[in-house]
Structure 1
Amino acid sequence: MIFSVNSVEETTSLGIALGKLLKSGDIVCLTGDLGTGKTHITKGIAKGLEITDYITSPTFTIVNEYDSGRLKLNHFDVYRVSDPDEIYAIGFDDYIFSDAVSIIEWANYIEEILPKDFLHIYIEKYLEKGEDYRKITITPYGERYDYIKELKI
């Protein structure tokens, strides 16, 4: 599925719609250049999960946990991870194979250790169409994500 968004608000709205659909144990992998909106879509997903906490990117801590919503959220940022062993050291498998929804920013940095079933979101920025224009491609890997067809903004 491909979505075009023209503002931070539309990016967040797409995240909210997705968050409302996500289920226990889902894994969302985000990729795209720096500044494309990975954290904004994550904030929207958290709202869709009814999480009331303030969402920040865990760039220096690798993972932030939120449990104030209808489902727990594990938010990873692996931008600074240089070796998959670093992520295993924090209990990565325990996080992603739990009942929580897991969002992994910069998932392409650890693609060799990702499970075979996940939802991939790739965000591209197009400056020639305006500062906030984004093309967001959502690709499900695995049958568990068939429900994504219901996603609309």
Structure 2
Amino acid sequence: MNLTLHVNSEQETLDLAALLATLLEPKDVLLLEGNLGAGKTTFTKGIAKGLGIETVIKSPTYTLIREYTKGKLPLYHMDVYRLEDVGGDDLGFDEYIYGNGVSVIEWATFIQDELPDSYLTIKLEPTGEFFEGRNITFEPTGEHYEQLVEKFQKQASEEGLI
């Protein structure tokens, strides 16, 4: 079951992502999709907040992977856009994806062969002028992520976020 939500501000994006983070478990994999400026790093900041990570979250565009280990779970934030022409073979992504933390991957289509069979795709699409609002679509692949989206929708509704 896909779930699409509309947010009107950066704060609403952060709040939804923080709520989702409270439901995440080790080895969870989130794939963030969206054009430049769609809010992928903002969403990751919300995930970090929900995991209790207080470090400043920066885009890993030039470093490929940023690790944040001081929270409820480690957060591995990956931006694999630079691997468009070369792929991710032998770069050790499986150590993160199958490790003890949460992997958030931007531009995952460039390492498709490295991905597990199940994951949660989160699509961010700006709406209106000046990227004021966004549609955020949660597309689960696999039973674990279907259950995660159901729990997330219920909790977001109970907390008045949707």
TM-score using structure 1 length: 0.92
Provide the secondary structure at the position in 2 that maps to 1:34: coil
In structure 1, the residue matched to 2:7 is 5
Q: C-alpha displacement at 1:108, in angstroms? A: 2.5
What pairs up with 1:108-127 in 2 under 5 angstroms?
108-127=109-128
RMSD of the TM alignment (CA)? Answer: 1.3
Secondary structure of 1:147's counterpart equals helix
Displacement of 1:114 in angstroms is: 1.7
Of 10-19 and 110-119, deviating more is 110-119
* Residue number in structure 2 paired with 1:58: 60
Deviation readout 1:2-49 (Å, 9 max, x if unpaired) = 110011111111110111111111000000111000000000001111
Q: Deviations over 1:102-144 (max 9, x none)?
A: 000112232343211101001111225x631111000111112
Instruction: Please give the per-residue CA displacement for 1:50-109, whole angstroms capped at 9, x wherever unaligned.
Output: 11111111111100011100001110001111222xx33331111111111000011223
Cα distance in 2, alignment partners of residues 117 and 3 from structure 1: 22
Instruction: Give the counterpart letter for 1:142 in structure 2.
Output: G
1:105 aligns with 2:106: yes
- 1:147 deviates by 2.4
Task: Give the TM-score normalised by structure 2.
Answer: 0.87
Q: Residue 88 of structure 1 aligns to a residue in which SS?
A: coil
Query: Mind listing any 5+ residue stretches in structure 2 that lack a counterpart?
Result: none
Identity of aligned residues (%): 44
How many pairs align? 150
- Structure 2 SS opposite 1:68: coil
Name the residue aligned to 1:34: 36
Report if aligned partners of 1:31, 1:108 keep a CA contact under 8 Å in 2. Answer: no
Letter paired with 2:109: N
Displaced runs of 4+ in structure 1, greater than 4 A? none
